[in-house]
Chains A and B, each alone.
Chain A
Amino acid sequence: SQQGEEDPQALSIQEGENATMNCSYKTSINNLQWYRQNSGRGLVHLILIRSNEREKHSGRLRVTLDTSKKSSSLLITASRAADTASYFCATDAKGGGNKLTFGTGTQLKVEL
């Protein structure tokens, strides 16, 4: 079963707007990672946030982690058409044997 659940399932915005995606999970984690997938191809690693971190930035990406609520958010600022993709969160659960458990994904469409 999927531990992570992304919300929303799909998001459509205009270029230049910000996009926020949320992820909830169920167990204690070592870290949480966000990935992007274009058109059913490989996953691109975006950012990793450890369980003792609350916020992390990388370029136009901002990730937050609230371990008390078992949730994370990914914010993409000033979105571009090239950001159109599916976005997944993946958790590395404590004692999980290095297995990443992926959420169901958010399909982001950025329109010109």
Chain B
Amino acid sequence: EAGVTQSPTHLIKTRGQQATLRCSPISGHTSVYWYQQALGLGLQFLLWYDEGEERNRGNFPPRFSGRQFPNYSSELNVNALELEDSALYLCASSSDRARTEAFFGQGTRLTVV
């Protein structure tokens, strides 16, 4: 069974541009979570989607947004990129909103230059 898959693996963008990161959850999982792992800041919760709805949001500015599609895959969009957005972005999925046992993908390494 395939795990959580993320694309692209690496992404290099220029400051001010937009980045789109994609995540496919484990088959049968309805909840998708996004986390940011920036150097020196540890793993920070970004967003939680379940059944197509945003259920919770971390302490990030509105230029971090996303959505979940009917097939439960998800996109994370980061607008007006700043140098500090350089980080590993991790997606996780769980089987339903009541379960937080989350399984992570390999991440997308975003570098903003």
Closest to A43 in B: B104
B107 lies within 8 A of chain A by Cβ: yes
| Selected contact of A105 from candidates B31, B42, B90, B94, CB within 8 Å | B42
Closest to B41 in A: A2
Scoring B residues 75 to 113 as 1 if CB is less than 8 Å from chain A, else 0, what string do you get?
A: 000000000000010101010010011111111000000
Which label, helix, strand, loop or mixed, suits the secondary structure of the B interface? strand
Shortest distance between the CB of B102 and any CB in chain A (Å): 6
Could you name 29 residue pairs across A and B whose Cβ atoms are closer than 8 Å? A31-B101, A33-B100, A33-B102, A35-B104, A40-B37, A41-B107, A42-B90, A44-B104, A45-B102, A45-B104, A88-B43, A90-B43, A92-B100, A97-B48, A97-B55, A97-B56, A98-B33, A98-B48, A98-B56, A98-B94, A98-B97, A99-B48, A99-B56, A99-B58, A100-B35, A100-B100, A101-B45, A102-B35, A102-B44
